[in-house]
Amino acid sequence: MSVQTFELLILGSSAATPTSSRNPTAQLLNIAERFFLIDCGEGTQIQMRRYKTRFQSVNHIFISHLHGDHFLGLPGFLASMHLLGRKNELTIYGPKELEEVISVIHKYSDTYLSYPLRFVATQAEHKELLWEDDKVEVYSFPLQHRIRTTGFLFREKPLPRNIDKYKLEKLEVSFSEIHKLKKGMDAVDNHGNTIRNEELTFDPPPPRSYAFCSDTRFFEGLAESIAGVDLLYHEATFLEDRIDRAAVTFHSTASQAAQMAALANAKHLLLGHFSARYTELDDFLNEARPVFQNVSLATEGRTITL
């Protein structure tokens, strides 16, 4: 069985304001051809064109909080999909006030979308399942920022067991029995003989997971929500020399992001949401690596494949 797609594209990595080389926060995650847009800062649709992604492939948008650098690209993105002839429903997950914000913009701009727009309100009190299908599940979890903010956890569901097709070819087994084997059950061949599952199958790849930790101060309780995650994106707005500024603004430093990755037993850490005051980003890696070795930068255009 081939492994399904699990791929993250970084569209924006700047905090608060864009720079000449960095856009505000936005990411596009593809899991098994389900495309999730995570935050939608200014210029997101331009970045999607630049990196040749398809607007209409996005059916779910997740907004972490209502600071402008995380959602001000949304009204334009919604309008562009209308102008491009979208008909399929689009669901937005975010703070309950977001629906009112978008409704007011549409009201006073006399905008009517050609497709159904559905809002699902998030809460920042506890971890919550937001959406699932047969392959993927998505959770929100609370962060600690100046306003209500959530992170998002995207997780594959366990894949069916892999069938050893060479062994199967030697047996007379019906399609329904093959289906049972994939579920981990024993099967019965056409002659009534029981076939033990382990004789014909082997383990599928383990499910993969991605956690998006938007703006937040460091707090140890976060580790429980993202424990064991394969890929962790964690904001690193400041370096350690501005840790006092990070505390006042409810942001994190690169070292604190690395501490969280270690606490959560993450496999890989992505740093992002860099303050515009920094033009060179190598110091973020230099600060994080003594605490957590497997770390890299979430910079524009970068694609991470799990």
pLDDT in tens, 5-31: 999 999 999 999 999 999 999 999 999
Looking at residues 29-56, what average pLDDT do you find? 97
Query: Is pLDDT at 44 greater than 70 in this prediction?
Result: yes
- Count how many domains the chain has: 2
110 part of the active site: no
Q: Which residues of 226-251 are buried (b: 16+ CB within 10 A; e: fewer)?
A: beebbbbbbbbbbbeebbeebeebbb
Among 298, 304, 306, 281, which Cα is nearest to 26's?
Answer: 298
Which pTM value belongs to this model?
0.91
- Domain harbouring 145, CATH code: 3.60.15.10
Let me know if residue 297 belongs to a domain. yes
Q: Which contacts of 5-8 are long-range, i.e. CB under 8 A and separated by 24 or more positions?
A: 5/30, 5/31, 5/32, 5/33, 6/30, 6/31, 6/32, 6/156, 6/208, 6/210, 6/305, 6/306, 7/303, 7/304, 7/305, 7/306, 8/210, 8/231, 8/233, 8/303, 8/304, 8/305, 8/306
Is residue 304 over pLDDT 60? yes
Residues 268 and 172 in one domain: no
**Kind plus residue range of the DSSP H or E element containing 45:** helix 44-50
Confidence of residue 1 (pLDDT cuts 50, 70, 90): very low
Residue 184 confidence (pLDDT) above 80: no
Domain co-membership, 214 together with 197: no
Using pLDDT thresholds of 50, 70 and 90, give the confidence band for residue 126.
Answer: very high
The mean pLDDT value of the chain amounts to: 93
Count other C-beta atoms under 10 Å from residue 275's C-beta: 19
Based on the domain organization, do 185 and 60 belong to the same domain?
no
Evaluate whether residue 1 is within a structural domain: no
Interval 53-72: pLDDT, tens: 999 999 999 999 999 999 99
Tokens of 225: 């929500």
Catalytic residue among 39, 69, 134, 164: 69
Starting at the edge strand found earlier in the chain, the sheet holding 209-213 runs 128-132, 136-142, 150-156, 209-213, 231-235, 268-272, 295-297
Stronger pLDDT, 221 or 185, i.e. the higher one: 221
Please tell me whether residues 83 and 223 are part of one structural domain.
Answer: yes
Could you tell me the residue range of the domain that residue 112 belongs to?
6-159+204-305
Is residue 67 included in any domain, yes or no?
yes
Query: Cβ–Cβ contacts within 10 Å for residue 280, how many?
Result: 6
Write the pLDDT tens digit of every residue in 79-99: 999 999 999 999 999 999 999
| Residue reference for tokens 């069938």 | 163
Neighbours of 284 (CB within 10 A): 24
